[in-house]
Amino acid sequence: MAQSTRKGSIMSKQTRELLTSTHWGTYRVEVKDGKVTALRGFEEDPDPSAIGPGIVDVLDGPTRITAPMVRKGWLEGGPGAAGDRRGADDFVEITWDEANRIVANELDRVRKTHGNRAIYAGSYGWASAGRFHHAQSQLKRFLNCIGGFTGSKNTYSFAAAEVVVPHILGDFRTYIDTTTSWASIASDCELFVAFGGVPLKNGQISQGGTGAHVQRGGLLAAHEAGVRFVNISPLRSDILDRVGADWLAIRPSTDVALMLALAHVLLNEGLHDPDFLDRFTVGFDRFAAYLRGGTDGQAKTPEWAAEICGIPAGTIAKLARDMAASRTMISTAWALTRQDHGEQPFWAAIALAAMLGQIGLPGTGIGFGYSAMNNTGLNRRQINYASFPQGRNPVPDFIPVARVTEMLENPGGRFEYDGKTYEYPDIRLVWWAGGNPFHHHQDLNRMRRAWARPETIIANEWCWNALAQHADIVLPCTTPLERSDIALTPKDPYQVVMDQAILPVGQARDDHGIFRGVAAEMGVEDMFTEGKSAGEWQRWLWDVSRQQAAEQGVELPGWDRLQRDGWIRVPAPAAPTIMLEAFRTDPTANPLATPSGKIEIYSETIAGFGYDDCPGHPAWMEPAEWLGRADPGQLHMISNQPRNKLHSQLDHGSVSRADRPKGVEPVMMHPADAAARKLTGGQIVRLHNTRGACLAELRLSDAIRPGVIQIATGAWLDPQGDLCRRGNPNMLTLDKGTSKLAQGPIAHSCLVMVEACAEA
């Protein structure tokens, strides 16, 4: 079972420089004496990310997990023993043979005593790039070989959109993959209105890898072509300074009020497009009645919105008129979904774009997530590449992904989701591979209490982060630099060979090897591997992808040629992508996948669910926490994506550490708010509310709206009581669903207090 690649064979096959792919880009890898010494940006990449080299100094050393480990309390007391000691207990090293036996016996006990639905393996998270060594696919395929598991639906990124958009416009992910290209914006857009900005920090990322970063170039080309940008965000830095955007410093979680007021101006001044609404949408009349105040007595005027969103009424009215007078693109950051009633901003933005009547035309209409990833707006052929088959899960149970704490707290409890009622299963065993709930989940103190309940928690990890520390059985996995793979993603034109650069560190095994070991112990190894080695599977993935690409008229090279060259680039289509172009050209031949085949500004389906927190048309509802209802001294905390890493990945590495000289995460505050609290820049402060606390280093800037603070996500949880010493904002965020419709996470709706930290 040991991974057999010896040092000699890694290097001797190589006739070219080593390559690797990550979610933050492609890199050349330098190796000396069996150690990785540097990662250099890929020569095809005009704007490589600084994140990559952050892995070099942590491949080995004290934070690396080098052997299978079992928590002492669990080893001594058995399953269910001292769950509340998770995160505090010592670990005992065991052999892989022992680990396989222990895990196999425990899985067997749980499935025979409680059924497979008692195993939770939603295992949400980003893991690493690489089509074969995708941790979740490996985990799910393995569990499907032994009877299945309870899974999860949707993401933390944009759960609210994933559930609401299909009712209004059709499958959300299709739109992400067909967002109007940057080239079309440069040639045909005049006004780019960005709710949540287009922060370049985020464009470093592309799920599954990227060969060339295009977001900066796309923005600059549009700017040079004369496109005017409006950055609607509490943060001025949410767009590149060089594009000279107007900054509308909105109060967080109030974009819907602003959008409704923009819509009201269009309606009131007759600037909307009745022909478009008539031909391509349903239900506008009911929305118009709401805008006029016909249903709740409140007209959604700029004056009304100004009170809520903090942008002057005159500015709102002018923006609406500019939008109507220009070829306008409305862009919505995914962050707008990660707030209370996060379904509404996307629905309201779609309604607004429909009123402007430019959907489906070049460079205009609406785009979701220009703020979010390199691949949004990247013009490419969408190739149907093969993925590692996961098999079939016979267990029907699932949760909306962000309801994980509630599921553990409330076995047998009921929850609403997208028009139906479901039951939380009674989870006895949790297995996580390739995600970090101690990063991604809200209200971590509440989660830690719930996390004490299952009888057994297993984690595959490569570094001693909070997930590994809070598991009972820790199975050490490799990093991509210690295994061969291919980055194969429809989201990028580059497909890249991922070379094994070094031997696995310590006894680490790749996830496939880990599951193969347990599968052998449980008598399902053949079912799991189908008799193929990891290398044979990778070749299989490429061969099937080649056939499927050929069916789309794209010729890919053979396996040997790919290995020799290291990468390929599939040429982009000549014409830029224009979202919803076919629908606009012929709505009868190309209807939307909605009940009416049109854009549903009013949805009978959603109205029919009767939810008090998600009515039949876009609506303003007060969020659970926002500045409009803050106690004296409370500030709104934005915990957005970190610029120096991907979520919690490589938080311990050199690149992330360099931004954190005092060892704690920086928090940005307006100087006026600091003065009111007698705080000074550089000082260590304590962010706190009723749910928990974290430390942070104060940085002052007038590029943030007063009353708002910003702290990036990603600091590894380092708990001391209910406080995180390193600055994990999820100690403070609220764990509540967006609404009964989507049950998405709402990290961005969060009020906190900030004070000087006595201990520091």
Ligand X SMILES: Nc1nc2c(c(=O)[nH]1)N[C@H]1C(S)=C(S)[C@@H](COP(=O)(O)OP(=O)(O)OC[C@H]3O[C@@H](n4cnc5c(=O)[nH]c(N)nc54)[C@H](O)[C@@H]3O)O[C@H]1N2
What tokens were used for 210?
A: 């990227």
Distance CA 22, CA 485 (A): 11
Site for Mo ion in 224-283 (CB under 5 A): none
Distance CA 20, CA 59 (A): 14
Site for Mo ion in 642-671 (CB under 5 A): none
Helix/strand/coil for 464: coil
Instruction: Name which of 133 and 736 has its Cβ closer to ligand X.
Output: 133
Which residues are CB-neighbours of 294 under 8 A, at least 6 positions away? none
Among the listed residues 126, 175, 385, 432, the single catalytic one is 126
CA triple 627-633-636, angle to 5 deg: 35
Q: How far is the CB of 637 from Mo ion (least distance, A)?
A: 18
Question: Is 175 in the active site?
Answer: no
Q: Which of Mo ion, ligand X, none is residue 135 near (CB under 5 to 8 Å by kind)?
A: ligand X
Q: How far is the CB of 446 from Mo ion (least distance, A)?
A: 21
Distance CA 654, CA 36 (A): 14
Instruction: Name which of 256 and 562 has its Cβ closer to ligand X.
Output: 256
Query: Are 521 and 100 contacting, i.e. CB atoms less than 8 angstroms apart?
Result: yes
H or E element at residue 669: strand 666-669
Instruction: Name which of 375 and 603 has its Cβ closer to ligand X.
Output: 375
Instruction: Name which of 143 and 433 has its Cβ closer to Mo ion.
Output: 433
Helix/strand/coil for 476: strand
Q: How far is the CB of 369 from ligand X (least distance, A)?
A: 6
Instruction: Name which of 124 and 602 has its Cβ closer to ligand X.
Output: 124
Distance CA 235, CA 197 (A): 8
Phi, psi of 551 (to 5 degrees): -65, -25
Q: Which of Mo ion, ligand X, none is residue 473 near (CB under 5 to 8 Å by kind)?
A: none
Distance CA 743, CA 400 (A): 6
Place of tokens 């809070």: 470
What tokens were used for 79?
A: 């399953």
Binding-site ranges for ligand X (CB under 6 A): 124-128, 133, 135, 156-157, 195-197, 199, 201-202, 204-205, 232-235, 238, 250, 252-253, 255, 333-336, 338-339, 371-373, 433-436, 439-440, 460-463, 465, 467, 477, 511, 638-643, 646-649, 713, 729-730, 733, 747-748
Residue 263, Ramachandran bin (φ over 0: left; ψ between -120 and 50: alpha; else beta): alpha
Q: How far is the CB of 461 from ligand X (least distance, A)?
A: 6
Q: How far is the CB of 497 from ligand X (least distance, A)?
A: 17
Q: How far is the CB of 66 from ligand X (least distance, A)?
A: 15
Q: How far is the CB of 250 from ligand X (least distance, A)?
A: 5
Q: How far is the CB of 164 from Mo ion (least distance, A)?
A: 17
Bridge partners (DSSP) of residue 330 are 193, 366
Instruction: Name which of 159 and 757 has its Cβ closer to ligand X.
Output: 159
Q: Which of Mo ion, ligand X, none is residue 641 near (CB under 5 to 8 Å by kind)?
A: ligand X
Site for Mo ion in 79-98 (CB under 5 A): none
Instruction: Name which of 161 and 679 has its Cβ closer to Mo ion.
Output: 161
Helix/strand/coil for 378: coil
What does each C-alpha distance from 87 to 188, 354, 435, 605, 683 come to in angstroms? 55, 51, 17, 45, 29
What tokens were used for 750?
A: 């969060």
Site for Mo ion in 576-605 (CB under 5 A): none
Helix/strand/coil for 538: helix
Stretch that binds Mo ion, among 152-160, 278-286, 594-602, 676-684 (CB under 5 A): 152-160
Q: How far is the CB of 742 from ligand X (least distance, A)?
A: 14
Q: Which of ligand X, Mo ion, none is residue 640 near (CB under 5 to 8 Å by kind)?
A: ligand X
Count of C-beta atoms within a 10 Å radius of residue 133: 29
Half-sphere exposure of 237 (CA within 13 A, CB side): 12
> Rounded to a whole number, what is the distance in angstroms from the first to the last CA of the chain?
50
Burial (0-12, 13-18, 19+ Cβ within 10 Å), 663: middle
Site for Mo ion in 287-346 (CB under 5 A): none
Distance CA 415, CA 250 (A): 33
Residue 101 has what DSSP assignment?
Answer: H
Which residues are CB-neighbours of 258 under 8 A, at least 6 positions away? 232, 250, 305, 309, 311, 316
Distance CA 342, CA 164 (A): 9
Among the listed residues 120, 124, 182, 537, the single catalytic one is 124
Q: Which of Mo ion, ligand X, none is residue 222 near (CB under 5 to 8 Å by kind)?
A: none
Q: Which of Mo ion, ligand X, none is residue 673 near (CB under 5 to 8 Å by kind)?
A: none
Q: Which of ligand X, Mo ion, none is residue 234 near (CB under 5 to 8 Å by kind)?
A: ligand X
Question: Is 494 in the active site?
Answer: no
Size of residue set near Mo ion by CB under 5 A: 1
Report which residue's Cβ sits closest to Mo ion: 157
Half-sphere exposure of 332 (CA within 13 A, CB side): 30
Q: Which of Mo ion, ligand X, none is residue 454 near (CB under 5 to 8 Å by kind)?
A: none
Instruction: Name which of 154 and 500 has its Cβ closer to Mo ion.
Output: 154
Instruction: Name which of 260 and 715 has its Cβ closer to Mo ion.
Output: 715
Instruction: Name which of 73 and 437 has its Cβ closer to ligand X.
Output: 437
Q: Which of ligand X, Mo ion, none is residue 529 near (CB under 5 to 8 Å by kind)?
A: none
Which residues are CB-neighbours of 241 under 8 A, at least 6 positions away? none
Count of C-beta atoms within a 10 Å radius of residue 294: 13
Q: Which of ligand X, Mo ion, none is residue 232 near (CB under 5 to 8 Å by kind)?
A: ligand X
Binding of Mo ion by 157 (CB under 5 A):
yes
What tokens were used for 147?
A: 């009877």
Q: How far is the CB of 650 from ligand X (least distance, A)?
A: 8
Residues involved in catalysis: 124, 126
Residues making contact with Mo ion (CB under 5 A)? 157
